[in-house]
Amino acid sequence: MKLFQGIRQQLIQEKNVKNYLLYAIGEILLVMIGITLAFQADNWNEDRVKKNAEIKTYENIRNQILGDKELIQNQTGYNNRYMVQFEYAKEIILTNDHTKMDTLGIIATKLANYSDFDREGNIYETLVNSGKIQLLRNQRIINKVRILEQRYNYINRMENIHYDVMMNFAAPNITSAVNFASAEVVDPDLVFSNEFQNLVILLIRVMKEKNQTYSSAITEINDILALIDEELAKD
């Protein structure tokens, strides 16, 4: 600054208007360049902070849905394991094969088992309420997260339906037909009845529908993970 002041004083003393004006214009330009650079530095720092927050949000989403994926896969395996047994029970009843009554009794005690993901679909809602959704520039990820939340809600509805069928229909019939402690069939006519067969078929249908919702959720999760990995790879 002292250098500029010295130059300015010298030009004033020399009464060289032309050179003074040129100097003044140059000094103004330097000040403007300095202000512009300062603004650019602030903008760059703000962009960097926003980008770091965006990356952190992507990582949080990724970690959460990875955990959800593992849980859904476990529930799918659990659901399939019992569905195979229920299919076998249906065939025993359909063929009226009393030689397999002991097996049917064991399977009947398992009709009260059901898979339960039990996860609230609040990823998208949390992003909106926290304002973090504004940090995400990939609209495809936002849309996929919203769809995944809908999948979770549908899974919960199907699991509630399964629970209601189990409590209102399966449990009363099982307790009347089978001794839970020994899995012994105490009412053969009931376990081989058309009503009991219809109950088993109803449970199987619900379980198949649950499998479809589980599969759809896994597909959505894999799509989101791929998109997030692409975003993280950019940095």
Instruction: Calculate the alpha carbon distances from 114 to 19, 86, 133, 200 in Å.
Output: 90, 12, 35, 13
Q: Helix, strand, or coil here: 231?
A: helix
Residues 165, 89: Cα–Cα separation, whole Å: 17
Residues 66, 192: Cα–Cα separation, whole Å: 44
Which residue in 115, 94, 102, 110 sits closest to 192, CA to CA?
94
**For residue 34, what pLDDT is reported?**
61
**For residue 49, what pLDDT is reported?**
72
Instruction: Calculate the alpha carbon distances from 113 to 30, 39, 66, 156, 210 in Å.
Output: 77, 63, 25, 16, 14
The domain spans of the chain are 53-233
Residues 178 and 43 sit within 8 Å (Cβ to Cβ): no
What pTM, to 2 d.p., does this model score? 0.78
**For residue 3, what pLDDT is reported?**
45
Residues 10, 2: Cα–Cα separation, whole Å: 12
List the pLDDT tens digit at each of the 235 positions of the chain.
Answer: 444 455 555 545 555 555 545 556 666 666 667 666 556 655 556 667 778 888 999 999 999 999 999 999 999 999 999 999 999 999 999 999 999 999 999 999 999 898 998 776 578 888 888 888 888 889 999 999 999 999 999 999 999 999 999 999 888 989 999 998 899 999 999 999 999 999 999 999 999 999 999 999 999 999 999 999 999 988 6
**For residue 180, what pLDDT is reported?**
87
Residues 197, 199: Cα–Cα separation, whole Å: 5
